[in-house]
Amino acid sequence: MVTYGFVIDNRKCIGCHACTVACKAENEVPIGVNRTWVKYIEKGEFPLTQRKFSVMRCNHCADAPCVEICPVTALYTRPDGIVDFDSQRCIGCKACMQACPYDAIYIDPNDQTAAKCNYCSHRTDVGLAPPCVTVCPTHAIICGDLDDPGSEIASLVSREAVQVRKPEKGTDPKLFYIDGDAASLDPTAASPADSYMWSQGGGETFETPRALSGPAGPDPASGLAGRLGTLARRVYDAPRERMVWGWKVSLYILTKAVAAGAFAIPLLAFGPGQPPGPMGWTGALLGLIFLGWTGLLLIQDLRRMDRFLYIFLRPQWKSWLVKGGYVLFGFGGVLGLWLISGILGGRAFQSALTWPGVALSFLAAVYTAFLFAQAKGRDFWQSPLLPVHMLLHAVLAGGAVLLLFSPFFPAAAGDRLREILLGGLGVSFLAFMGELFFPHSTKDARAAAQMILRGPGAILFWGGVVALGHGAAAGLLLSGIGGLEVLSAPLILGGVFVAAHLWVTIPQRIPLS
């Protein structure tokens, strides 16, 4: 049994970047991205300062979330514990980047596929150490077999007090730090800057609340360590891509919600055994249209659109991206058959398709919550309320689009639709309040909630989601005036999109490395 790992001995690291340069040279890593990089942290105020170095890279986790979420097995764990990648399979979905709690994966700008440290497996396979190890002038990077008690790395791990990054994630990382500094290893303890002394950083600055910052030294209450202060600052780092998923993902959540809700609401509102009626036919047609739009958005968000069929041809069944792809494909097939059988007069066959169609619409609405839950790098997405939000998105977005056509429906159908929307708005408001105001289990999740409530997302949330998308929309629905009721539809749709966009983008502002 062989399990390869790394030890970074911070007692010896001098921050020379030789490991970064050797890695880039060996693997021909393009400019602007890194498999190995060094982060600098400073503490205190002149002349009482400290500088800490931390070598960052893939942690080669025993339970690697990037492997589980990858839809096409482009990332995989070798028998020797190395987490390797196959760029020939990668579709560029970027899900692995969201799943990695250590910000170790990047998109190669040359071939638009995911890449990271792979322990220089081409060298390891022939008995050679990675170049970052051989080039280090102070022997601060140690590699080897953790299962061999006679190896240097196994001796260090058993003898020294070692730390790992984010042990609470349960990934069982195989990258250990000796004398690791808390402010360096905790991504939010020292805010990423947008500029450094001799370079420009990438991404947005994350305003680290004082309460989230780690101690400056081993004992802030005594001696020099106590006079160094309590805040750390990042003074050198590699640029990292912060907004991996953007407006296309937010819009796809909206279009998928419309497709699921528009089909299911008319059938459930009047009972699956009843003839579909005008609202049912309209809902099915809208569902098919918006489902097609959803598929286009998913494909367009891939960095390798030419490989999108790999999801179906080379599926990795643990990934919810694969499961969701099959759900959407099946839902589209049932929708098409439902419409065709109704047009051809096959009422019995159409009726038989109703329950499978409703079940698939439910799965289409909520599966994204489980995909987001696999993205372990983003704590806010691990919420058990996320499936509830996704289901409510379907009720509100699907109902809102149907409301636009309500003048052409029977009065009873329009009344039932307004009741459903009002109920959905009420439950959705309570779900948002519960999500944002109830305690969160991690500081990253708490920080994301505060950024939505009081930070950069506050105006959009309170103004767009709560005031317009819920309050004003509910007022128009309660007015009893047909023309005004229909005006609530764009407000509801806008509120759902803004909420989805906040939930997608705000957690990505929190640094992972």
Nearest-10 Cα torsion for 165, 166, 171, 177: 20
Give yes or no for a contact between 216 and 231, defined as CB atoms under 8 angstroms apart.
yes
| Among candidate residues 341, 346, 431, 424, the one with its CA nearest the CA of residue 384 | 431
Residue entry with tokens 């499978």 = 356
- The answer to whether 4-236 and 247-509 have equal CATH topology is no
Residue entry with tokens 């601060």 = 140
Query: What average pLDDT does the segment 158-166 reach?
Result: 94
**Residue 117 contacts by C-beta under 8 Å, 6 or more apart in sequence?**
23, 35, 36, 57, 58, 60, 104
Query: What average pLDDT does the segment 229-254 reach?
Result: 85
| Class at the top of the CATH hierarchy for domain 4-236 | alpha beta
In CATH, the number for domain 247-509 is 1.20.1630.10
Q: How confident is the model at residue 226 (pLDDT cuts 50, 70, 90)?
A: very low
Q: What is the C-alpha separation between 298 and 361, in angstroms, rounded?
A: 17
Token pair for residue 485? 């009721």
Per-residue pLDDT at 153 exceeds 50 = yes
Decide which of 194 and 459 is more confident.
459
Summarize pLDDT for 374-409 with one digit per residue, the tens. Answer: 999 999 999 999 999 999 999 999 999 999 999 999
Q: Please give the pLDDT value at position 48.
A: 82
Q: Residue ranges of the domains in the chain?
A: 4-236, 247-509
Query: What average pLDDT does the segment 102-128 reach?
Result: 96
Q: How confident is the model at residue 270 (pLDDT cuts 50, 70, 90)?
A: confident
Q: How confident is the model at residue 197 (pLDDT cuts 50, 70, 90)?
A: low
Token pair for residue 130? 């990675």
Of the chain, the percentage scoring pLDDT greater than 70 comes to 91
Q: Work out the number of other CB atoms within 10 angstroms of the CB of residue 306.
A: 11
Give yes or no for a contact between 5 and 174, defined as CB atoms under 8 angstroms apart.
yes
Per-residue pLDDT at 472 exceeds 50 = yes
